[in-house]
Structure 1
Amino acid sequence: MTVPPDADGDAAAVPGQRVPRIALRIGGLSAILLGVLVLSTVVMAFEFSANQKRIAEATERFHRLQVATAANRDFGMVRYWLADLAVSQLTLSERNAEAARDQLNTRITALEDFAPEAAATIRSSTDTIWTTAIAAVDAYADGNRVVGNALMSQARTQSDAVTLAMAALVDDLSEQSIRANDTAASAAQDARFRALIICLVIVLAGALLTALVLRSILQPLNRIDAAMADLQAGRAPVDLPPEGPDEFGRLSTTLRTLWDTQRARAELEEINAQQRRTVLTAVETIPDGFALFDETDRMVLRNERFLEIFPFARALPETATYAEFLDAEIASGILNIPVEEADAWRADCLARHANPGGSRAELPYGPHYLLVSKGKTPDGGTVAVYSDISELRDRQVELEAARAEAEEANDAKSRFLASMSHELRTPLNAIIGYSEMLIEDAEDAGDTTSVPDLQRIESSGRHLLALINDILDLSKIEAGKMEMHIEEVDIATLVDDVQATVAPLVAMNDNTLSVTVADDIGTMMTDRTKLRQNLFNLLSNASKFTQNGRVDLTVTPEAEMIRFDVRDEGIGMTPDQLSRLFQPFAQADSSTSSKYGGTGLGLSIVKSYCEMLGGGVSVVSEPGKGSTFTIRLPVSARAPAPADGTPTVLIIDDDETALDSLGRTVRDAGYAVLTATDAATGLALARERRPDAVLLDIIMPERDGWSVLRDLKEDPILCETPVIMVSILTDREMGLAFGAVEQLMKPVDPDRLIAALEALAGDADREILLVDDDPATRGLFRRILSREGWSVREAADGARALALVEERRPSLLVMDLMMPNLDGFQTLKRLRETEAGRGLPVIIVTSKDLTRREFDWLQDNARDVVMKGGDGRADLLAAIARQVGSASATANEEAP
C-alpha cells in the first residue's frame, strides 16, 4: 500500500507508530554513503587483485626467463668442460664436466614445470652429446684420434643444435616477460584512473545527499524554534509541524500540550486552593489534635483540637518551630517536671521528634492521658496526632484489676489442684498398696476366690489414679506450669521398659505386640517420663481398640528426629472422627466412649507433651483397617545447661556402655550429665559448659586421657576442675601426679560398691524411720518394709521425726512432704543442720506435684524421690535398694 506524503513531502506515518524521522534520514544517508564506500572499496579491491595477478604473472615469466638463461649458461659449461676433457684428459676436467652436467639437469628439471617439451628435448640432446663426447674422450685415450675427432665433430654439431634451441627458448620467454610487464603497468594505470573517478563521484553524491537531509531536518527545527519563542512570549504557537509519531510531530504535540497546560494552570491553582480548604475542614473535624511540621520542623498545619489540648500554642505564630513549641510548653507551667530537668526533657523530645519512626507513646498530661503518635512524611516532615485516652486508660486500669483477680483465681486453682493431688493420691495409694498385699496374702494362703475381687479393686484404684493424674496434668498444661525434666535417655532401654509395662494390656484383648527398634538408634535428650507416658498411652489405646489383632511399635531415626510409629489393626476412624481426635475430653464418638470407655484426655496430653518437647504427633486411619499414630521428637546431642546451680559432671569415654553406666550412676546421685565419646569433643564441652567435675577414661583412640588431663590442667579456666580418671590401668600414682583427684578401676567391684552404699546407712542395723501423717500409708509401708527385713519406727509429723533421729540415728529415713505443722521441706532443712542428720540418707515419698525448683532442691538434700500411687511400692523398694543395697542377699551369700 502506498502511503501519501505529508506537508513536508515525507510519507505519512501509520497511527500509533513512532517514526524517528531524524534518525531515519541520518541513518539512511549514512547507510547510502557507507554502501557506496563499500562498493567502491570492493571494486578497487577487485582491480587491485586483478593487477596483482598480472604482476605475479609477469614475475613468473621473468623467473622462467632466469631459469632458461641459467640452463643455457650451464649447457655452455658442460660443452666447455667436455672439450677440455677431450684435450687434457684430466680427471679434474671430468669432475667439473659432471658437476656442470648435474647443475644442467637441475635447471632442465625446473624447465619441465613450464616448458616440458623443450626440457625433454634438451635433456635428450644433452645426454646424447654427453655420450658422444665421452666416447670421443675414450678414443683419444686409446690413441685413436681419427675416431675421436669424428666423434667430437659430431658432438659439436649436436651441441650447436641444442644451443640454438635454448637460445630460441630464452628469446621466447624474454618476449613473454616483456608483454606481461607491459600489461600489468597498463592495468595499474587504468585502475588508478577509475579510482579517482569513483572518489569524485562519491564526494559529489555525499555532499548532495547531506545537503538534502540537512534541509529536511533544519526546516522543521526552525518552525519548532519559532513556536517555542511564541510560547515564551505568551503567544499561542502557530507555525508548527504537523503532529505525528516522529520527532517533529511529538515536539509539536508537546508544545501544544504545554500551551494547553499554561492555560489550565490558573484553573488548577483554583482547584488546589479548594482542595486545601477541604483538607483543612477535614482536619478540623477529627476529634484528635493534629499538627504537621515540614522538613525544617516548622509547623505548617494545626487544628482547633490541637489548640484546645495545648492552649499556650495560640500565642505562637502558625509557622513556629517545634523547639519554640516546647519552650512555650515549659513556660506554661503545665508540665510537672523540676526546673533542673527541663533541658534534658526538651532535648529528649527534640530527639524523638527528629526520628519518630512511627512511635506511639502514652503520657500523662495534666488531668488527662494523651496518646501521642508521630511519623515521617515522604518529604521529610513530621505528622503528630494527640489523642485523649483518659477514658481508655480508666478502662485499662479496670482490666488490670480484673486480670489480677483472674491470676489470683488461677493461683487458687493451682493451690487447690496441689491439695487435691495430695488428698486423692494418698488414699488411692493405700487402696492400691493394700490390694496388692491382700492379693499376695490370698495367693499365699491358697484363697483364690477373693483374688479376682481384689484385682478389680486394684484395677479400679489404678484407673481412678490414672484419671486423676490426667486431669492434673491437663490442668498444669493449660496453666503453662508443666515442667520438662530433660535428660539423656537410652531409647532401646526405654522401649523395653514400655513393652514390659504394656504387655498385660495388650494380652487382655488377645493381641500380639511387635516391637522394632533400629540398631543404631542410640540415645536422645528428652523427658524420659513424658516420652514413656506418651508411648504407653498410644499402645494402650491401640490395644483397647484392637481385638485378636496385632499392635506394632517401630522406632527409627529420621534426620534430626526420632520417629515412633504405633500401628494397630483395630476399628479405625473416619475423617470426621480424626478432626476431633486430639481435643480434651473428646473421643471419636459417643458410641466409642460407651463401648470402650475412657475420658478422652490421653491423646490430648500426648499432643501437648510432644509439642512441649519440640516435636509433634500425627495419625493416619481408615475405618475397619486400623490406625497409625506417629510421634516425631527432636534429638539433642547434649543436655541443656542447668540454670539453677545443679552440679554438672562431664564424662569422656569412647565406650558407649561405660558412658551409659557411669551416666546413670552420676545422674541418680543428683547431678546433670554431659557426655563425649572422644577427646576433642570433651575438651570443647569442658570449655563451653564449665562442668563441676570430669570423669575421664585413659585409653581412647587418637588422644589418650593423659593428654586431655594435661590440657585441662594447663587451661587457666579449667585448671581447678576436679578430674577423676576411670580406666583399666592401675597406675594410680601417675594419675594423681598429672592432677587427677582420684582414679577408679574398670570394671567396678560390686562388693566395694555395696560396701560403700552400706556405709551411707551407718552400722549394719537395718532400721528405717517412716515419717507420714497418714496412718494408712504408714501401715502400708510398715508391712512392705517388714517383709523386706527392715525394722520400722514411725512418726506422724516432722517434729517427732527430728526427736527420734536425735534419740537414735536410723539407717534410712523415708518421709512424706505434705504434713501439718512442719512439712517435709522444713523437716529436711532442719535435719541437715543437725550433727546426726547431716549425712543421713533420706528418701522422699510424696503425692505432691513437684516443681522443677522443688525437685532440684530435693535432689540436693535427699537421696531419692518416689511418687505415691501407681508403682509407688516398687519404686520405694528400688530406691531403698539403690541407697543401701540388699543386705539380706549379701548375708545369705556370705553364710556357710
Structure 2
Amino acid sequence: MTGPAAGSGPRVSRIGFRIGGLSAALLGVLVLSTLVMAVEFSANQTRIAEATERFRRLQLAAGAQRDFGALRYWLADLAVSQLTLSERNAGAARDRLTERMGELRSFAPEAASVIEAALEGIWGSAIAAVDAYAAGNRVVGNTLLSQARMQSEAASGALADLVDTLSRQSEQANRTAATAAQAARLRAIVICALIVIAGAGLTAVVLRSILRPLNRIDRAMIDVQQGRAPADLPPEGGDEFGRLSGTLRALHDAQRARAELEQINASQRRTVLTAIETIPDGFALFDAQDRLVLRNRRFLEIFPFVRALSETATYAELLDAELDAGMVEVAQGDREAWRADCLARHSDPSGSRVEVAHGGRWLLVSKRKTPDGGTVAVYSDISELRDRQLDLEAARAEAEQANEAKSRFLASMSHELRTPLNAIIGYSEMLIEDAEETGDKGTVPDLERIESSGRHLLALINDVLDLSKIEAGKMELFFEEVDIAALVEDVRLTVAPLLAINSNSLFVAVAPGVGSMRTDRTKLRQNLFNLLSNASKFTSAGRVDLRVARDGDVVSFEVSDEGIGMSAEQLGRLFRPFVQAESSTAGKYGGTGLGLSIVKSYCEMLGGSVSVVSEPGKGSIFTMRLPARGAEATSPKARATVLIIDDDPAALTSLGTAVKDAGYAVLTASDAEAGLALAREHRPETVLLDIIMPERDGWSVLRTMKEDPLLCEIPVIMVSILSDREMGLAFGAVDLLSKPVDPARLLAALQALTGAQPREVLLVDDDPATRSLFRRILAREGWAVREAADGARALALVAERMPGLMVLDLMMPNLDGFQTLRRLRETEAGRGLPVIVVTSKDLTRREFDWLQANARDVVVKGGDGRAGLLAAISRQVGTGRIAETSGGKSI
C-alpha cells in the first residue's frame, strides 16, 4: 500500500464545513433580511398607529363640534320655546361635550380650556336669559342671549380651528404611512432578490467544490472495480475526499495483493494436489457437511465405485455405494447397524485408527477432524503388514520357545557340569595337600593350574546358570539387614588376591554414617566383586577405588580404575550378555561378557541402577545406586505398590502408615496431576483416590485413568467423605471407602484386590467409551471389573491373577482378539477360563465357527448387545440376578 494510511492525520469534514458554511451564510442573510423587514414593519406600524390616532382625534374634535352646535341650538330653542324637552336636550348635549372635553384636554389643552370657559359662560348666560324671558323681562333676556351668542362664537371658532388642524395632521400622517409602506415593499423585493442571487451563487460554488472531487472519486472507483489503478484522485488528506482517496488506493493495493495471494494459493494448491497424488495411501477430504471435496487416484483405486458418484457426494452416499458394490461383507439385516456405526465414527473420529476388512484386503483407516469441521481420512493397505505381523508372531513364538529351550538346556547342563567340576576341584585340593606332605613340589603348580581352571570353569557355569535364571524370571531374592561397612570389608579381603595378580592397589572410602541397608547380601556382594575384579583385570600396576556414600534412601557404590577405558561406541555395547566392549578384549584379557550383564540385572532386581563413565586411556567409573529401604516392593516376591492421591496431608500420613504397616509399598501425591504422573511411571497395583480435591477432583482423575490404555487396568478405590458407592463403581472404581477410613476395611479391600475374586471380570477392549459402558453394566450387576486396552496386557493380567470371566473385543491394535484367545487357550490355566467375545466385526462363517469352538459365547455390538451380553454372562456363570435383568437397552 502506498501513501499515508486512510484515516491518518487529523480528520477534517470539508464537505460538512462547506455545507455548514453555506447554510450559515444563507441563514445569516435570512435573519438579517428578516430583521430589516421587522424594523420596517415596526416603523410602518408606528406610522399607521400615529395616523389612526390623528384620525381618532379628528373624530373626537368633530364630535365636540357637533355637540357644541347641538348645545347652541337647544339653548336657543329653550330661550324661545321655554320647553322642558329643549332643556333636557341641551343638558344632554352639554354632558356629551363635557365628556369629550376630558379627552380633548389630553392632546389640545389650550383649545379645551377656551372651549370649557366659553361653555360655562354660554350655559350661564343662556339659562339667565331663559329665566329673564320666563319673568317677562325680554330686554334682559335679549341682552343675556346676545352675550351668550358672542361667547359661543369664540368657542365655535376654537373648535373649528382644532378640527381643521387635526384634519391636516391626519391627512399628512396617512400620506407619510403610505409612502413609507411603498418604500418598505420595494426594499423587501430588492433584499429577497439579493438573497436569491447570493444563495444561488454560494450553492453553485459549494456544490462545484463537492461534486468535482466526487466525480473524480467515482471515476477512480470504476477503475478499481475494473482492476485498473485509479488514475485521477484528489490528494490524500484529513478530509473526506482525502480519506476516500487513501481508501481507494488501499483497496487497489489490497486487490493487487489478493490477486498475488490467489496466484500463490493456486500454486500451493497445485503443489498440495501433487503431493497428495504422490502418497501411496488413499486420501480423502470431507467438508463440514460431509461432502467429498478432495481425493487422490489411490483413493479411487481402493474405492472404484466413487467414480460413478457426483463430485459432491456425501459420506453417507459413499457408504451406500460401498454396500451396493459388495466391497464389505455385511449381512442383509446388519446393513443399517453397520452404516450407523460408520457414520458415528466418522462424525467424531477423535484421531481414530481402525483396521477394517475391505474387498479381500485389510485397510488401516485414520481419520481426524479439521479446524473448520471437516474430516481428513487416510486409507492405508496393510494386508502385507498383517501377513508379516502374523509371520513375526509365529517367529516370535518360535524364538520364545527356542529361548525357553535354551534356558532349560543351560540350566540342565550347568547342573550336570557342576558335579564333576566339584569333584575335580576337590581332588585337586587333596592332591595338592598330598604333594606338599610328600614333598613332591614339582606337581603342585600343575595341580594348582587344574584347580584354578576348575574354579574358573565353575564360576563361568555359575554365571551362565544365573543368567538363565534371570532370563527365565526364576532368580529369587533374599532380603535382610546388611551392615554396609562390614560387607565392603569382606569384599575387600576377598578381592585382594585378584588385585595382586596385576599389581594393583585398592583404596576403600566408606562415608561416615552410611549405616545399614535392607537388601540381598549375596547379590550385592557378587556385584561388588564383579565390578572390582573387572576393574583389576583392565588395570595394570594402577589404582582401583571403591567409594560408598548415602543420600537419603539411596546408597551409591562407585568403582573407579586407571585402566584402558572405553570409547562411546564400546559403551553402547556394554551390559549385553556374552558381549564385550571390543572383540579383541576377550583374546587379550579373557572373560565371557556375562559379569556386567549380571550386575545390571541384579541392580534392577534390587530396585536400583548402574551407570558408567569412561574415556579411552583414562579408565572407567561404574556407579551402582540401590534403595536402602523398601526394595522388596520391586522384587518378584515383594508386596504390591499402593498409590495414595489426597490433598490432605493428615489423610496421606494416616493412610500411608496403615498401608505400610500391612507390608505394602506406598507412593503418595498431594494433587491430581502429580498422582497421574506417578501412576504412569510406577504402574502401581492399586490407587487410593480422594474425590474432593482443588483444581481437579477425583472423578476427573478416575475418568482419565479409565481412558488411558496404560492406566485403565489399575484398580482404583475411592476415598472420600461422600458415600455414593454406586456412582464410584459406575465410574470404574472397585470400591468406595468413606472418611474417616476404617483401617480394617481398607486392608480388606486391598487384600481382595491382590487375592482371589470369584466374581471378577477382565474387560478387554481398546475403546475407552466401550469399556466405560461395559464397566457400568457389569458393576451394576455386582461384578468387580479389571480392564485391559489390548490383548498383550490382558494376557499379562491373566498371568498375575486368573479372573472369573473375560469379555473380549476382536478388533484391537498390537494383539487382536483372535490372537489373544489363541494364546490364552494354549496355556493350561487359560483353557478353562470362560470367554465372551463382544465385537462389531462382520464375522465370516469360518471365523464364527472358530470362535464357537474357542469361546463360550459371541455377542455382536449394537442391537440387543446389552441384553445379549448379560444373557451370555448368565449362561456362563448361572447367576439368577443376571438372568432376571438381561433385557433392556442396547450397547
Common fold: TM-score over 0.5 = no
Question: Larger Cα Rg: Structure 1 or Structure 2?
Answer: 2
Task: Tell me the TM-score normalized by structure 1.
Answer: 0.42
